């Protein structure tokens, strides 16, 4: 895979072959990446909501959009905060928060995105915990899984550039590009949400809803 340079990123943005919107300042586009800003929603796991995370509890949820059991399960696990511009959110040490990017992303089928924390924030203890890959064909916001690995709380404000996304050209890969719509459970997301950790692994997770 080949990483796109600044000129290639600008060319694809101008031709609408790649979408990152809104881009609020020219310096948001670096030598080989685009900075991503914090959105206005924060989801934080509630310590007293459940005793542990069990994949079997996810087998029957998130079957269809708007399902009340799915929504209720998400509400019990996470507490949502809507943070207006100009106000702040305090991320405590050892805490994990799901935060949407301000930007909406569209990737064509020949590009893959890789999201990382900006180094200036990483040196303060702020890290993007896991999900760094954005699949070809993805459309939606990017959910940043922010973790505070430092020893002191970090004050975060909507609009801050917390992360960066680099783009990799897949056209020279040996296998033919898959041009089917992305099957990610997060495709077309407009705000962060809890994922279904049992998706695709039902053969290995017991169905606790069945009566013996």
Q: Which two tokens stand for residue 209?
A: 């809803």
Superfamily of domain 2-45+55-172 in the CATH hierarchy: Deoxyuridine triphosphatase (dUTPase) (2.70.40.10)
Mean pLDDT score, 25-39: 96
Judge whether residue 71 has pLDDT over 60: no
Q: Where are the domains of the chain?
A: 2-45+55-172
Least confident window among 10-14, 83-87, 167-171, 186-190? 186-190
pLDDT given for residue 18 in this prediction: 97
Q: Is 145 a catalytic residue?
A: yes
**Catalytic-labelled residue, pool 11, 79, 145, 191:** 145
Give residue-wise pLDDT tens across range 122-132. 899 999 866 58
Judge whether residue 81 has pLDDT over 50: yes
Q: Which two tokens stand for residue 115?
A: 């999201």
Q: What is the pTM of this model?
A: 0.73
């Amino acid at each position: 895979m080949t990483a796109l340079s600044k000129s290639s990123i600008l060319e694809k943005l101008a031709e609408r072959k790649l979408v990152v919107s809104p881009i609020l300042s020219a310096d948001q586009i670096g030598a080989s990446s685009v900075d991503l800003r914090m959105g206005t929603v924060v989801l934080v796991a509630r310590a007293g909501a459940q005793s542990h995370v069990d994949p079997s509890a996810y087998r029957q949820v998130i079957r269809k959009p708007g399902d009340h059991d799915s929504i209720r399960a998400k509400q019990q696990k996470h507490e949502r905060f809507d943070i207006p511009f100009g106000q702040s959110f305090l991320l405590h040490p050892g805490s994990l928060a799901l935060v949407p990017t301000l930007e909406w992303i569209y990737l064509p089928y020949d590009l893959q995105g890789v999201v990382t924390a900006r180094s200036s924030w990483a040196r303060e203890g702020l890290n993007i915990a896991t999900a760094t890959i954005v699949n070809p064909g993805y459309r939606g916001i990017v959910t940043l899984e922010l973790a505070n690995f430092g020893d002191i709380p970090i004050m975060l404000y909507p609009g801050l550039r917390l992360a960066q996304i680099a783009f990799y050209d897949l056209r020279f890969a040996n296998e033919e590009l898959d041009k089917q719509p992305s099957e990610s459970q997060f495709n077309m997301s407009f705000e962060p949400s809890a994922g279904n950790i049992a998706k695709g692994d039902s053969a290995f997770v017991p169905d606790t809803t069945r009566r013996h």
